[in-house]
Amino acid sequence: MKQNLKTSLTHRGISKLSWWLFGAAMIAAAWWGQPLVDSVHFENHFFGVFWYSMIALGLMFWSLPSEQFTDGKLLERRTMLLGLLPLWRKSEPVSGFERVELTQEPNVFGKDSVWLSLITTEDGETKRRFVFAYFPASHRGIAKAQQMAGDLSQISGLPFAQAATEV
């Protein structure tokens, strides 16, 4: 029987294809907006300033992805500069939570969302929640969420409460 010997778990924003595609789209949008700046018409310069301010805002959010990490004793959420250099950290002890849980939330547009969280309840209601990861509620997304929930449960020593099964 093969044992999973993971001792830590990290969920990174930069490991998703969408993060890389958004960065490429921002570069393409910056290149596409060049005629606004190079124009001889004053009103085009105004639109160019607006265009590049929106691109700068998008790149600011893109360049600061977050990641979640646990070693079984500590949960940590970090904001990273380009996924490499930590700029901000928030830590909580795993002992402050009761269980690992997958919850499925319906979306108005597109697939539902599956959230992997560590939960503390009081009188049947959620008191504290630490969201570790998010997945789309597709067959593949739910499978990834269940795999990560099992790994998180094993590393943290907390029971895995429920699994999202709807698609």
pLDDT of residue 101: 86
Q: Residue 150 is which amino acid? A: G
State the distance between the two ends of the chain, measured CA to CA, in whole angstroms.
31
44 pLDDT band, cuts 50/70/90, is low
* pLDDT above 70: residue 28: yes
What's the Cα-to-Cα distance from 157 to each of 7, 39, 66, rounded to whole Å? 11, 62, 24
Give the per-residue pLDDT at 57.
92
72-86: average pLDDT = 83
Q: Where are the domains of the chain?
A: 18-62, 66-156
Polymer length of the chain: 167
Paired tokens of 80: 């990273």
**With a threshold of 0.95, does the pTM exceed it?**
no
Confidence at residue 103, expressed as pLDDT on a 0 to 100 scale: 82
**What number is the average pLDDT over the span 52-75?**
86
80 has which bridge partners? 86
pLDDT for 41: 67
Least-confidence region, from 15-24, 58-67, 115-124:
115-124
Residue type, 3: Q
Per-residue pLDDT tens for 129-167?
888 888 888 888 888 888 888 888 888 888 887 644 554
Question: Would you say 84 and 68 are in contact if contact means Cβ atoms under 8 Å apart?
Answer: no
Weakest mean pLDDT among 40-44, 47-51, 70-74: 40-44
What contacts 87, CB < 8 A, 6 or more positions away?
64, 78, 79, 80, 81
Which long-range CB contacts under 8 A does 127-130 form with residues at least 24 apart? Answer: 128/96, 128/97, 130/75, 130/77, 130/92, 130/97
Per residue, the 3-state secondary structure of 15-50, as one string, reads: CCHHHHHHHHHHHHHHHHCHHHHHCCCHHHHHHHHH
Q: Region 48-67: what's the mean pLDDT?
A: 86
Model confidence band, residue 3 (pLDDT cutoffs 50, 70, 90): very low
167: exposed, middle or buried (Cβ count in 10 Å: 0-12, 13-18, 19+)? middle
135 vs 45, residue with greater confidence? 135
